[in-house]
Structure 1
Amino acid sequence: MERLEYKAELEWDGNVGSTAKVREFTFKIDTNTDGRNTGPNPTEYLLSAIGGCLAVNWGRLIKKMRLDVEGFKVEVRGWRTRDEPQLKEITYKLTVFTKEPERKILRVKELAEKYGTVFNTVGAEKIKGEVEVLRP
């Protein structure tokens, strides 16, 4: 079986943030509470990673299934209490602009969740999603 490996390197900024390097890309990780607010915090990156995972898989599936989709957007949300350092709920809403039948769009949702690396690493049982189809 082919093994896919991923790597990120982070360098501390001397406060609470860091600069991450992934392949040829760099980005800041910080907080807006006790940091310098130079970038999203780790939880926001996690939510972005979940949304990005879904978006990549939706894009692949739309092409593979030759669907006529004008566009889509994903919003991912999470919440926690101040006392427990764990997200209690993660939800996403994907809005897709298409004339395709709803059954095809729901099949894309099913497959995107089934094959999403980040989605399944976090745990499909922890993420609840809905799809809204808007007809152009």
Structure 2
Amino acid sequence: MGRLEFEVTARRVDAHGSEARCKEAVIALDTDLAGNPGAFNPAELLLAALSACIIKGIERVVPILKFSLRDVRVHVHGVRRDVPPRMESIAYEIVIDTDEPDRRLDLLHDNVKKFGTVFNTVSPGTTLTGTLRRKQPCA
């Protein structure tokens, strides 16, 4: 089987934050004990990684399935437990703006769950639940 390798470098900027770098991208990290509203904290980064994994998985299978869509939105909600510290549960909602039939939406969701790297990394260690639904037309 093929393998991909990834590298990220992080550094402390000051007592209020840090930054992570990968390729040409920089992400502000909330490492301030009091919190930093201008950066992602570690739990939020995990949820963002899951969101990105879901969207990238959709982008990967859209041409294979010849699936037509106009937009994808993902909302992720995580619940953290303090003792021991861990993400207890994660719930997601994927909203697709499409005219595809419901059975094709189910197929798309199955592909997201089956082939997502971050999805399959997070899934065994937490209660991961979610839905994929069609965007409702504006009234």
Same fold (TM over 0.5): yes
Q: Percent identity?
A: 29
Normalising by the residue count of structure 1, what TM-score does the alignment of the two structures yield? Answer: 0.88
Deviation at 1:57, TM superposition (A): 0.6
* Match in the other structure for 1:26: 26
Inter-partner Cα distance in structure 1 for 2:71 and 2:29:
29
Whether the aligned pair in 1 keeps the contact of 2:89 and 2:128 (CA below 8 Å) is yes
* Match in the other structure for 2:121: 121
Q: How does 1:1-136 map to 2 (within 5 A)?
A: 1-15=1-15, 17-30=17-30, 34-123=34-123, 126-134=127-135, 136=137
Secondary structure in 2 aligned to 1:4? Answer: coil
Whether the aligned pair in 1 keeps the contact of 2:114 and 2:120 (CA below 8 Å) is yes
State the 4+ residue runs in structure 1 displaced beyond 4 angstroms.
none
Secondary structure in 2 aligned to 1:2? Answer: coil
Aligned length: 136
- Give unmatched runs, 5+ long, in structure 2: none
Q: What is the RMSD of the two structures over their aligned residues, measured on CA atoms?
A: 2.0
Whether the aligned pair in 2 keeps the contact of 1:98 and 1:135 (CA below 8 Å) is no
